[in-house]
Amino acid sequence: MADYWTVLLFFVYSFGFGYTILDILKIKEDEHFLTRNIVRIGIGLSIIPILGVFLNILYVPLSWIVFLLLSIAYPVVKLILYFHKHNYNLPMPDSHVNFLKVSKKTLFIIAIILLMLVQFYIMHKGAFGYSWLEDGDPWHHAVTTKYFAEQLSTSRPAEIGQFVNYVEPYPPGYDLLMSVLYQTSQQMMWTLKYFNVLLLALAVLFFGIMAYEFTKSYTKSLFATFLLVAIPSFLGHFIWSETLAVVAFFPAFYCIRKLLDANEQDLFINKYARYLQKFWITNKWMIPAILITASIMVTQPIAAFMFGAFIMIYWFVESLYSKKFVKTIFMIAVLGLLLSVVLYWAPVKVKFDIFGSSEKTQTTSKFTELKWKIPGSADKIYTFNDFFITKSYNMINQPIGVGIFVCILFFVFAASLLFTFKTSFGKENKWLLIVLLWFLFGLLAVNGRRLPAYILPFRMWPFMVIGLVFLATEGLWFLLKIFQRYQLARVIIFTVFFVGIILTSGYHKYTVNTAIWPFNNFFMSYEEANAYTWLYSLPRDTTVFEFCSPNADTRVMAYDKLAFSWDKDVLEFRKKEKIMNHTNEELYSFLKQKKFDYFIIDGYCIFHQGVNATNVRLMEIGNDPSKFQLIYKSDKVGVPFVFKVI
């Protein structure tokens, strides 16, 4: 069931933090009401990860109340001061404003909001089309979110192993946000699904705002945003930390782009300016850009790498055009990285010796396996058809493909450079060179398996698409310009490509994202997965022990129950080679000691221990009614068996 209180809090946190930082800095914000507040939400949302990391290092509990108070403190004070100054009278609307007159900018914002709603509808329909979490990553995010919410901290004691992939030393940004939201919703699966979908929708909104800052054209920005929604390889509703990191790209580059506007109000000229200038901090927009950069660095490693590449490309092009070393953009990258290192990476390096060879801990981490070649779970050598032809079936974690008509528009753009090269990259169009280099770098990254060095090529598709949508838009505008004297021809060309993109890209994105996605090996059958919803009949946070789970009680916590996957005794007791050898007395004593009210024997036991061993253990437990009582068993497939500890 939707928890609208938590949705409201999400926007309160985001708006509050964004408003606070922009108003304290006295930055000149956009004069348009909708744009101004969308930017505030984008910036506020994007700095939550680094703020949470900062609070955690200060041992401040990561409670939703703390985030609420911090987000509203400054706006409330400002509101009180405003009413006091105006004798507590409400502001009156300007009588000279014509409310019937709608500006182009308002129409543009309304249009990208509609595209955002399309994205939200598709992703929401797919995410809530089944009662489980898909594949593997989302289940691990559920455990991490629960751990953060229970501990009110992202820290993990060094002596406890990395019981799921996304606890330290993995960057905590995504699960930190989800844990704050989960504390008020108390619905794990709904929280992960809904807010992941909401982030995907907001990505569209923030991209549209950023795109206008690049192109200064409402129509081009709108069409590029439409392409982002339509192209299958720009993210699906798969639940993982990359979603939040990609969302933060757009507010970050919005702030960086605003450096070009360099009006006096946005420059540091107060008594502290000379201290900031020692770090080449001269423009106020640098501060939110630095904070968002740091947030990305503590949210998802691959996105952090790509953001670093994108911002350095941006810096290179700006330096090339200005014929000087552009200090501001360079320092945004350096200081953002440095802030993340000081607040997160240096402490976890010391704590877990990541990137090192010390035997101080036996932590298993992806970071200790960095090589020149880092393969992914779905890497392959891509062919032309993988880009050109999209299909109604695709990978769920990272869809691939662009679509016929989008590819044609890109080829038109590439061909147009033969005629317009000298004018295409003039000083007023340097953004075009930036996005072209973004695309080329992303294309190389996607095709990494053909190169001597690569990092998870299949994860690079959405980053390639960010540049591609601008270039495909330029391709369409080139065609329309050719027929600028023939209005009917222009309408036909636009209609053909608009409909063609929907049919060859958008339709397949819709079918893939609204299909029933599998649960990987977390259940033996769909019947067992559906049977697990019985857990909802137990009170929230009832303690339930997964008897044979190798995945840290992922399903128990995804269904709003409590386990202690981070407890060393629990980890030791449930080792695969030991779990079936415990006597009933040992099992009962352990469950009582750890305050478990229930335990589950399910398909995991059959898969890992075999049918015979599982049946023998079930019989032994069933024959001891003084300790264990069977209270649920699936009528269709037998498993799961849920026992109450007497």
What would the pLDDT profile of 101-110 be if each residue is shown by its tens digit?
Answer: 789 999 999 9
Phi-psi map region of 610: left, alpha, beta (phi>0 left; psi -120 to 50 alpha): left
Pick from 245, 295, 251, 253: which is nearest to 47 by CA? 295
Beta strand extents in 507-637 (DSSP E only): 544-546, 598-601, 628-634
Confidence of residue 376 (pLDDT cuts 50, 70, 90): low
Contact (CB, 8 A) for 561 and 541: yes
Per residue in 616-627, pLDDT tens? 999 999 999 999
Output the CA torsion sign for 449, 454, 459, 460: negative
Mean confidence (pLDDT) of the chain: 91
Q: How far apart are CA 61 and CA 65, in angstroms?
A: 9
Pairing of strands 598-601, 544-546: parallel
How confident is residue 576, by pLDDT bands cut at 50, 70 and 90? confident
Structural tokens at position 451: 């190169």
380 HSE (CA, 13 A, CB side): 10
**Strand stretches in 253-410, DSSP E:** 373-374
Tell me the mean pLDDT in the region 497-526. Answer: 92
Would the pLDDT of 373 be above 70? no
Mean pLDDT over residues 576-588, rounded? 90
User: How confident is residue 353, by pLDDT bands cut at 50, 70 and 90?
Assistant: confident
**601 strand-pairing partners:** 641
Over residues 73-90, the mean pLDDT reads 88
Q: 448: which 2 tokens?
A: 């990494």
**Where are the domains positioned within the chain?**
4-91+103-358+368-388, 526-645
The answer to whether the CB of 639 falls within 8 A of the CB of 528 is: yes
Predicted pLDDT at 228:
98
Give residue 99's pLDDT.
55
Residue pair 538/599 in contact (Cβ under 8 Å)? The answer is no
Hey, what are 387's tokens?
Answer: 């880009």
| CA–CA separation, 165 and 596 (whole Å) | 24
**Can you give the pTM of this predicted structure?**
0.93
pLDDT score of 538: 95
Average pLDDT for 22-43: 95
Q: Is residue 355 left, alpha or beta, with left meaning phi > 0 and alpha meaning psi from -120 to 50?
A: left
Q: Where are the alpha helices (DSSP H) in 186-262?
A: 188-215, 218-230, 242-258
Angle (CA) 339 341 347, round 5°: 125
Q: What is the mean pLDDT of residues 394-422?
A: 92
Tokens of 203: 């990505």
Q: Model confidence over 154-191: pLDDT tens digits?
A: 999 988 888 888 999 999 999 999 999 999 999 999 99
Beta carbons within 10 angstroms of residue 113's beta carbon: 16
- Is the pLDDT confidence value at 479 over 70? yes
For residue 363, pLDDT over 50 is answered with: no
Confidence of residue 356 (pLDDT cuts 50, 70, 90): low
Q: The tokens 């996005």 sit on which residue?
A: 435
Mean pLDDT of 517-525: 84
Return the axis-axis angle of helices 104-127 and 218-230, rounded to nearest 10°. 10
Position 338 pLDDT exceeds 70: yes
Q: For residue 255, which phi and psi values (nearest 5 degrees)?
A: -60, -45
- pLDDT value of residue 316: 97
Query: To 10 degrees, the CA torsion angle through 236, 127, 49, 276?
Result: 40
